[in-house]
Amino acid sequence: MAAETETRIKVKLLNKATITIRATLLVLGIATVFGFLTFDYKNLNFFDAVFKTAQTFKTVLFEPHFKHFTFLEAIYNVVVTIGLAFLTTLIGAVISLFLGLFAARNLTAGTICNVIRGFAAFIRAVPTVLWVLIFAVSAGLGSVAAVVGMSFHTIGYLVKAYSEAFEEMDEGVIEALKASGANWWQIVFQAVIPGTITYLLSWTFIRFEINFAVSVAMGAAAGAGGIGYDMFMASTFYYDLREVGVITYFILIFAILLEIIAARLKRKLRVNA
């Protein structure tokens, strides 16, 4: 019998990356402890504050109730917020799909690709609320400014996500289609989009969730209405923490439903593929 040779894989426990990560975590930990010890609490009892915070969470999460709006009004406002998020995601996804194709390095020449990527990076660098306020100068505070501003930031986000998904395509498939005489649009619709549809769907649903959260904030900040305005009134004007708890559960239920729908759609697309 031939002698069995044992192959051992040597794993370096300490390398530059590991040392850098551990040193960073250590510095952050020390800075956090130092911050807690040196923070000016203004004669505030730390443990008493923690206890009251726990009581606030208990009130919000375990004692929800309706007072200033009914269940049907809450459902209607949630639908308004969902509609705002859906509209901004739809507009951003359609525009980003075409811009993402021209931003992918394996599909487009360098100059156009770099210009679109730079434009998308500039859009992402500006927070969504600033885009909403910028467009509010011309459109006024309300749903129009919220939709345009949120769509603008959605485009900057999805262009990067879509273009990177397109770049993950197998180069052999693209080269084979080019060799068979397929033009650029045929390559896109017969290979690129079908091959990356699950990634596109995942990124779109992630952005939809982000837009829903932003829509809640814009409901109060930009006067866009919806469940966000109700939360603003309950937390700031009425200071009714129990009503804030009801709104929180409405938002949580929608987030869970969205995750279930996204998982089923992706599973169905994988089966059909």
pTM of the model: 0.74
Give domain status of residue 157, yes or no: yes
pLDDT digits (tens, 9 = 90+) for 78-87: 888 888 889 9
Nearest to 78 by CA among 221, 257, 207, 271: 257
Asked if residue 264 and residue 130 are part of one domain, the reply reads yes
pLDDT tens-digit series, residues 97-122: 999 988 888 888 778 888 888 889 99
Residues 107 and 219 occupy one common structural domain: yes
Domain membership flag for residue 195: yes
CATH of the domain at 104: 1.10.3720.10
Residue 84 tokens, joined = 């705002």
Start-to-end Cα distance in the chain:
48
* Number of domains present in the structure of the chain: 2
Nearest Cα to Cα of residue 167 among 120, 102, 116, 94? 102
Supply the pLDDT for residue 94.
93
User: Exposed, middle or buried: residue 234 (CB in 10 Å: 0-12, 13-18, 19+)?
Assistant: buried
132 shares its domain with 259: yes
Mean pLDDT in order along the chain per 10 residues (273 residues): 54 73 91 83 77 85 80 84 89 92 83 88 86 79 81 91 87 80 82 85 87 82 74 80 86 84 75 56
Domain boundaries, position 50 = 16-61
Q: Is residue 11 part of a domain?
A: no
Q: Is residue 5 part of a domain?
A: no
**DSSP single-letter state for residue 3:** P
